Structure 1
Amino acid sequence: MARPTQFDRESALDKATKLFWTQGYHATSLSMLLERMGIARSSFYASFVDKRSLFIECLQRFGQRTVAEIPADNDDAPLSVIPRFFQATLLDVEAEQLQKGCMLVNSVLELANTDPTLSELSAAQLSVVQNIFEQALSAAAKQGKFTSTLTPSEIAEQLMIINQGLRVQSRKGIDNKQLWASFLTSLKLLGLEQAANFSTP
């Protein structure tokens, strides 16, 4: 029996992630994946098992890269984590990438009714970012640099709701400067005006 052709697994994963990100889970067929990844069917099954397993790996990969966009902890200015994350994912990206939205948000919306398990997995990846926001807010509160009638947990949850809305807007082709202006307005509504001082317009 012939052995599957060797291939660059990391490169194939990157290509699959971009395809899922652009097309969505249901609209991405196995034949499309094989063509984009440049691998034979036998190699695909041997390395990734099936489309669903591949998608899960791509989700996790995308989630890890999203978390990597969050700057390292700044003990002197913990709130800076929030605007710098949005700057990296709204302003510092190409228009083509911005218009694809966020793969995690896209997947939550697409799969909520058709595949709750995959939708929940996407939401769990987003929760990692939310938890980091909560930690930053808690640190700022302890330092006396931020006060609110809302808890850090509640504000972090609102920030992620805002994040999801911005990603949906980006898929509609809204200019990143408009998205950024909306984000800054949201900071003010949450009482986080001082966080805007750490941003770069």
Structure 2
Amino acid sequence: MDGELFPRERAVIAPGAVHVPDWLGAARQRELLAACRAWARPPAGLRTVRTPGGGVMTARQVCLGLHWYAYGYARTAVDGDGEPVKPMPPWLAELGREAVAAAYGAPPEPGPDTAYDIALINFYDGDSRMGMHRDAEERSTAPVVSLSLGDTCVFRFGNTASRGRPYQDVELCSGDLFVFGGPSRPAYHGVPKVLPGTGPRELGLTGRLNITLRVGGLG
């Protein structure tokens, strides 16, 4: 971010889990934000997610490629307006490959198991949270790509055995990239806190957007 006294550096948080600060430049962030605003409009737009136990997620979500619901995927917004999910744009899928290359030093080999075909876009306001969970509905073990826009959050990256300790808290700022794959692919992770008012003013976003790219491997 502009104005940092000491530039933040790439960090390996756990085997296969890599944080790349400031990966998205200001222009790319604006482009992504504009796209997210378009995707959030109906049909199959931004919705409140309800869990099978009757709970309500405080972060709202829109999906591309396939629609995630608790706990599976569908081609329509089954827990929303029932409309077909919007397609995954090829440029966004390619951004996923670029992100993996930036984190690991080399892009994944081309193939059906490396084509990013699902995007989950979560919007967090200042009071939103995300409990510790695993991304377990995909058959593919390709790395998960996470991009942040707007307000900084505390991202809690845990272990593969439980929702509890050990875990590490990482601050994800606007433009940051976080990739987790390999032995860290099934790790629990969550967002215990968003820091309101910390996003870049010039972006024009109140709150936080997280764009998560996945390879489904679901056929």
Q: Which structure ranks higher in relative contact order (CA pairs < 8 Å, sequence separation ≥ 6)? A: 2
Structure number with higher strand proportion = 2
Structure number with higher helix proportion = 1
Q: State whether TM-score is above 0.5.
A: no
TM normalised by structure 2 equals 0.25
Larger Rg: 1
